[in-house]
Structure 1
């Protein structure tokens, strides 16, 4: 990753707290990311996006009226595929899963380091995705999976390593390169991991693995 942000990267910033927006704006502008506009709620975000397209949308998941998830769903319904990075505290599992189902490309904890935020925005702008809890302790403390029984099988070191990379939003191809495996082998590992956790997708698998202290 380069020291500065990708040239010409423009984002929309949505948060109902003016001080939070001001802090994020200052932080991101210091790193060379342009804030095209700010929005205090989902309604304002949707209206401004119709007039002013951006590369990435950075939005709080919780806002009064139309929140981050509802705004995301409305965007996708009107055919807008702009990548959305939601800032969250991971304190409500159903909200996160609903956001993922609505088409969110990434989640990041609000206490993430500045470089993590910049890299997350750049990753989404390049077509990637991200689910990066940063610290698993807040996730375990706040997140309660609907079925907290331990997985029926234990996880070996390779499966744990792959789960950690899945949590970073890496694709099977990227995981294969990182671990010096064939992409087909990684795909098989991922299928096994989903089966062990009793989940049907990668995001749910990561969230449950964190809750059950697998990673």
Structure 2
């Protein structure tokens, strides 16, 4: 039985960037670009009557920007996952993306494989709001204790681990994943227990070393 491709809509005001992303997306098996536009409003109009599985959008665009696009989708009751793209490596952007209602955040210099993975994972219901460490980062911060966790991690715990790695507080994480601060605190305690670590820094280093994030 054949699997339907993930339908993707793309918004980016830079024609060259948009054409480059279009070419990349066409090469990904299981992903189909079905709509593209040069600004947020044009994309909203394009998908109003033709639902998609994932929206990719630049953050900074004239007119309706990426944040505005996400808010407009949510205001009209459209829960389509959105991955926001930017060339700016700004620590505040992932949290702002989460607060707007986006499910993913990715730098434009991410590898094609990272882009495909982000699309696939948000389409499956995951949240990706902190960058995955690269191999050089993993090597630099390899944690001495490489014992296996006492239990597996579910998707919510991995998402929270990623945000901890991004330096976010429990209050900020709670906003990003739509949970109470107390619930996030409980998740963090459970994560530390599973990893056998005493604090957040050690937990992140071990999670990176073991490729949990």
**TM-score normalised by length of structure 2:** 0.63
Structure 1 residue aligned with 2:86? 88
> Map of 1:1-215 to 2, 5 A cutoff?
7-32=4-29, 33-134=31-132, 179-181=149-151, 198-202=169-173
Structure 1 residue 86: deviation in Å? Answer: 0.8
After superposition, the Cα gap between the structure-2 partners of 1:98 and 1:131, relative to the gap in structure 1 and judged at 3 Å, is closer
Contact 1:109 1:134 in 2 (8 A): no
Contact 1:90 1:109 in 2 (8 A): yes
Superposed CA deviations along residues 75-134 of structure 1, whole A, max 9, x for unmatched, are: 101100000011123444444422211111001111111111111101111111112424
After superposition, the Cα gap between the structure-2 partners of 1:45 and 1:197, relative to the gap in structure 1 and judged at 3 Å, is closer
Query: Structure 1: 5+ residue runs without aligned partners?
Result: 1-5, 137-156, 162-177
After superposition, the Cα gap between the structure-2 partners of 1:128 and 1:182, relative to the gap in structure 1 and judged at 3 Å, is closer
Separation (CA, whole Å) in 2 of partners of 1:197 and 1:39: 33
**TM-score normalised by length of structure 1:** 0.63
Separation (CA, whole Å) in 2 of partners of 1:112 and 1:65: 26
SS at match of 2:23: helix
Separation (CA, whole Å) in 1 of partners of 2:79 and 2:56: 14
Separation (CA, whole Å) in 1 of partners of 2:44 and 2:105: 19
Contact 1:61 1:86 in 2 (8 A): yes
Contact 1:84 1:105 in 2 (8 A): yes
Give the aligned length.
163
Contact 1:88 1:110 in 2 (8 A): yes
Separation (CA, whole Å) in 2 of partners of 1:126 and 1:118: 12
After superposition, the Cα gap between the structure-2 partners of 1:97 and 1:8, relative to the gap in structure 1 and judged at 3 Å, is same
